[in-house]
Amino acid sequence: MKITNTIILWMLACCFYMNSETVSSTFLFLFFFGSCLVNHVNKFKVLLISGLGFIFLFYVLSFETPSSFNFLNDYLNKIMGINLREIINSYFIKIHGQTLGSFISLVLLNIKNDYNYPIYYKLIDLSIVHLIVISSYHINIFCGLVNKIFHKFPTLGRIISALLSFTISYLNGFSPSSIRVFCANVFGIFKSTRNCKANLSFIFLGLVAPKVLISFGFLMSFLGSRGVKLFYKTHNSGKLYEAFFTSIFATIYIIPSLGIINNSISLWGVFLSLLYSPIFILVYIFLFIFSWVNWLDPVFIVAYNLIFEVSKVLEHINVVIPISIFKNEWIFSIYYSSLELFNLYIFRKRSSMKWKLNKLERVY
C-alpha cells in the first residue's frame, strides 16, 4: 500500500475518533490503525507517521483552528475590499427577481434563503440535494472540458483547471467538496496520479484546518469519493453502467452520515441521481454562462418550474427508509469497519493477482 493511502486511512480513523471519543469510536480507530499496519510493508513507517500525527493533531486541536474553510472567503474579501459573492447574489436577485434569482444563487453560489428553501428541502427528501449545489463531480466535468480543449498543452490546461476550480470554490463559499477538487487540481499540475491527487488533497486540507476533518460535510465528500474508488477496484464495467454503479457505491459509503443528518434516505435516491444529474449539468452550464443577463429568463423559469413540479410529483411516490439506527455509534462503527474490511480484502486480492502475473511474466 502506498504511504499516502496509509496516511489517509489513519487520518480517517482520527476523524471518527475525534467526532466521538467513545468506546465504539475507539474500536473503529483501532480497526483502521490495524489496517494501516497490516497493509503496509514498512511497519516502522506506519508507527512513525501515526506517532507524529497524534502529536500534531492533538497539539493543533488545542488551539483555535478553523472548523470550516469560510475563513478563506473572509480573507479574500478583506484583500479585495468587497464581498464579491454577496454582490453577485444581489445582482442575480435584482435582474431575475426574488424566486428565480434565489434559485440561481443556490445553484451557483450555494446561498440559501426563504425563497429557495422549498425546492432545496424537496431535494433533501429525495436524497439528491447534493446535485442542486455545485459539487466536486460538476467541477470535475468543467475541468475535464478545459483539459480537452487544451489537450495539446496539458500543463496549461491543468493550470487553467486549477484557477477555474478556485474561482468556483470561492463562489460557493469554499464547500468541502469544492476545496478538495481545487487542491487535487493544484497537485495535478505536477502530474500526480488521480489516486495520489485525492490523497494529497485530503492530507493537505487536514494539515491546514484539522477541525474541518470532524465536519460531516467533509467526511461525506471524502467517503463518497472513497466509495467510487472501491467500485473501480471491484468492477471494470462499460461506460453505460459506470454512472449507475458509482452512484450506488458512493451512496453506500455516505448512508450513515445521511442517517445522522436526515434520519432517513430515499429508496429512489440513486435512480433519481441518474435522472437529475444530466439535467443539472445542463442547468449549471447554462446558468454559468447566461445568468448574467435576463433575456433568457423565460427559459430559466420553465426549467425551474419543471424541476419544482417534477420534484413535487416524485415526493408523493417517494419511499423513505428510516435509517436513524446509525445514530447508535456501535452500528456506525461496525458498518464502516465492515466496508473497510471488504476494501482491505479487495486490495490484498488485487495485490496477490499482480504478484502472480509478475511471477508468470518472469517465468515466460
In tens, the pLDDT along 209-222 reads 766 766 666 666 77
Q: Give the residue carrying C-alpha cell 463562489.
A: 171
Contact assessment for residue 300 and residue 97, using Cβ atoms and an 8 Å cutoff: no
Contact assessment for residue 110 and residue 94, using Cβ atoms and an 8 Å cutoff: no
pLDDT at 143: 83
pLDDT at 102: 92
In tens, the pLDDT along 81-119 reads 888 899 999 999 999 999 999 999 988 888 888 888 888
pLDDT at 43: 55
pLDDT at 361: 44
Q: Give the residue carrying C-alpha cell 430559466.
A: 300
pLDDT at 18: 54
355 to 38, 88, 282, 359, 360: CA distances (angstroms):
17, 56, 45, 6, 9
pLDDT at 161: 87
pLDDT at 122: 82
Q: Give the residue carrying C-alpha cell 475507539.
A: 26
pLDDT at 363: 39
pLDDT mean by block of 10 residues, the chain; 364 residues:
55 56 49 54 57 57 64 85 91 92 89 86 76 70 84 86 88 81 80 64 70 67 68 56 64 72 72 75 83 87 84 78 70 71 67 48 41
